[in-house]
Amino acid sequence: MSEEQFQLLRGAGFVAAVTLALLLQRLSPHASVRGSWRVNGALWLVNLIVTGFVCGACACTVARWAAGAGFGALRAVAVPRWLAIATTLVTLDVVSYGWHRANHRLPFLWRFHQVHHSDQTFTASTGVRFHPGELLLSLPVRLGAVALIGAAVEAVVVFEVVFTVANLLEHSDIDLPLRLERAIGRVCVTPALHRRHHTKRGPDRDRNFGTIFSTWDRLFATYVANDSATAIETGLPGFDDLTFPRALGLPLGPTVV
Ligand SMILES: [Zn+2]
Ligand SMILES: [Zn+2]
């Protein structure tokens, strides 16, 4: 697979995820709030330019390098293709869990990650509200993981698409039927679970760090239940209605503990 095909597949996954998230928000809204789409959209555009410039298809390049060099854990054992893809998906998701947790634990990383949490509305566009600094800092972690796993390019694409869909859906203003929500939440992160992570006050911000699977939060004792019937005030105290320039400059200012 070429780097262009990799970018194309990832882009198609993003468009499909946005479409599905917006559709579900329309069909089954939780709070019917108007998202901070101006600031979030501007950040998304900056990130598209910055990450595209620095490392548009780096994960693909690293995966191809690892394949050529025979590098990575999955090359040391003979596993079927489907198992290699599943292992890559699960491993990159647990790495993302650890990275997200580090973003809350380490003050330097939190300076950037608080931009994501400063959205006082919780809608699909919150899923693209990241400071470019956070995305750049995460690159070595994810690329290092791809190399160490010895992930195939196709497995990285599967991960990127599933991760994008999960990320956009769990940030969406969606209510799910409670029984379905409970069933999905046993394995995957639901919007209600992640909404609780975005709570404006209290210790629950240090809970529910997962993106695809809720398994890691259960395993590492950071899981806290939540359902669509519960209203959660989201955002960060004192950071309401941030403009785009203020959001961009947030890592340089005071932090919310
Ligand atoms: Zn967080
Ligand atoms: Zn989030």
88 alpha carbon – ligand 1 mean position (Å): 23
Segment (H or E) for 46: helix 37-55
Q: Are 205 and 167 in contact (CB under 8 A)?
A: no
Q: Which ligand is nearest to the CA of 97?
A: 1
51 alpha carbon – ligand 2 mean position (Å): 19
Exposed/middle/buried for 8, CB within 10 Å: 0-12, 13-18, 19+? Answer: middle
Q: Amino acid identity, residue 43?
A: L
122 alpha carbon – ligand 2 mean position (Å): 9
The pLDDT confidence band at residue 173, using thresholds 50, 70 and 90, is very high
Q: Are 208 and 3 in contact (CB under 8 A)?
A: no
163 alpha carbon – ligand 2 mean position (Å): 13
- Look at the block and give the residue holding tokens 């390019």: 153
Taking residue 249's Cβ as centre, other Cβ atoms within 10 Å add up to: 13
Pair of tokens at residue 86: 């599943």
Q: Which ligand is nearest to the CA of 128?
A: 2
Exposed/middle/buried for 220, CB within 10 Å: 0-12, 13-18, 19+? Answer: middle
The pLDDT confidence band at residue 76, using thresholds 50, 70 and 90, is confident
197 alpha carbon – ligand 1 mean position (Å): 7
97 alpha carbon – ligand 1 mean position (Å): 10
pTM: 0.95
75 alpha carbon – ligand 1 mean position (Å): 33
70 alpha carbon – ligand 2 mean position (Å): 36
Q: Are 133 and 251 in contact (CB under 8 A)?
A: yes
Q: Which ligand is nearest to the CA of 211?
A: 2
86 alpha carbon – ligand 1 mean position (Å): 25
Pair of tokens at residue 41: 């959209």
Average the pLDDT over each of 75-79, 122-126, 136-140, 190-194 and give the range with the smallest value: 75-79
Taking residue 200's Cβ as centre, other Cβ atoms within 10 Å add up to: 17
- Predicted confidence (pLDDT) per residue in 46-62, tens digit: 999 998 888 888 999 99
Q: What is the mean pLDDT of residues 230-243?
A: 92
Give every CB contact of residue 31 below 8 A, 6+ residues apart in sequence.
122, 173, 231
User: Does 257 have pLDDT greater than 70?
Assistant: no
